[in-house]
Amino acid sequence: MRLKISFKLKGGRQVMPLNYQYPLSSWIYNVLAHGDDVVAKFMHDEGYHLKNGKTFKMFTFSQLYFPRGTYNIIPKSDRMELWSRNAWLTVAFQMPVQAEKFILGLFRDQRVTIGDRISQVTMEVGSVEAEKEPEITSETVKIRCLSPVVVTENKPGNKHETYLSPADNHYAGLLFHNLLDKHKIISDEFAGLDPFVENNGLKFECLTTKPRRKMQIIKAYTPEEVKVRGFMFDFTLTAPQALIRTGFNSGFGAMNAMGFGCGEIIM
């Protein structure tokens, strides 16, 4: 299930941090938390059950979009200046379509403030629309990133995880390992599938010659600040249709609920 959320801004010059994914994620979590009991009851009554008992943990969202010519990245800074009166983004959920009207209602008439101790922008929800679900009729699809895909590896001797690019040897195996882990929450149908062996029916191919690296700082200007690196690119994915749909609805790679790994199917 996917929603397009459109926002209204007051207009005039405003300054917003480029590291906006964490405050956006927090806002989405808070909105969903208010309706958790209602939607959980609906899903139970309709016969939908997630194995971990959680309703809203599997979601992702795209970057924020503004009309062309209404924003500008401020050189040598982590800020952008806006003159726009409109913005929008896509939010994807691993939820049954039957819950759509409840989710739509939760986001209507909401307001979000995006910012840090330096600058903030407040946006009001103008409209919430359900996006048409694509028909996944093949086991091979082309996907375009709407937000950076994050894939990490724990390398021996390294204290911290290593952020991988699509060109790294282990990238495909780790991408599919993450996707299979998410699908296990819904179903055990691919429990025996090993993402690291050859001829397993899983294939990833990056179609972009030079994937665009994007850094996002989570909890910027706080003691908990974390720098996250992902990549924007087009890719081909070959996998069972149910597994592709899980990635489409809940995100590809890691940290999806922080706004990473949202994609759209392209022809």
CA distances from residue 231 to 9, 200, 261 in whole angstroms, order as listed: 29, 25, 9
Task: For residue 28, give the nearest of 215, 263, 259 by alpha carbon.
Answer: 259
What confidence score (pLDDT) does residue 42 get? Answer: 59
Q: What is the pLDDT of residue 194?
A: 87
Angle at 259 between CA 84 and CA 137, to 5 degrees: 105
Cβ(187)–Cβ(242) below 8 Å = yes
Q: How many CA atoms lie within 13 A of 181 on its CB side?
A: 11
Which token pair is 28?
A: 């989405």
Spatial contact of 150 and 179, defined as CB atoms under 8 Å apart: no
Instruction: Map out the domains of the chain with their CATH numbers.
Output: 2-130 (3.30.70.1890), 140-266 (3.30.70.1900)
pLDDT at 51: 54
pLDDT at residue number 94: 84
Burial class of 21 by CB neighbour count within 10 A (0 to 12, 13 to 18, 19+): buried
Coil, helix or strand at residue 38:
helix
What is the model's pLDDT at position 55?
Answer: 44
Q: From CA 228, how far away is CA 237, in angstroms rounded?
A: 24
Residue 44, pLDDT score: 54
CA angle (176 as vertex; 174, 178 as ends), nearest 5 = 70
User: What does each C-alpha distance from 167 to 24, 164, 205 come to in angstroms?
Assistant: 30, 8, 10
Query: What is the pLDDT, as a whole number, of residue 140?
Result: 96
> pLDDT digit string (tens) for 15-59?
999 999 999 999 998 888 777 666 656 555 655 455 544 444 689
Q: Is 220 left (phi over 0), alpha (psi -120 to 50) or beta?
A: beta
Instruction: Give me the pLDDT at residue 170, please.
Output: 93
Which parts of the chain sit beneath pLDDT 70? 36-57
Query: What six digits make up the tokens of 212?
Result: 């665009």
Q: Among candidates 73, 7, 25, which has minimal Cα distance to 228?
A: 25
Do the beta carbons of residue 3 and residue 128 sit within 8 Å?
yes
Residues 242-252 have pLDDT tens digits of 999 999 999 99
The reported pLDDT for the residue numbered 255 is 94
pTM (predicted TM-score): 0.90
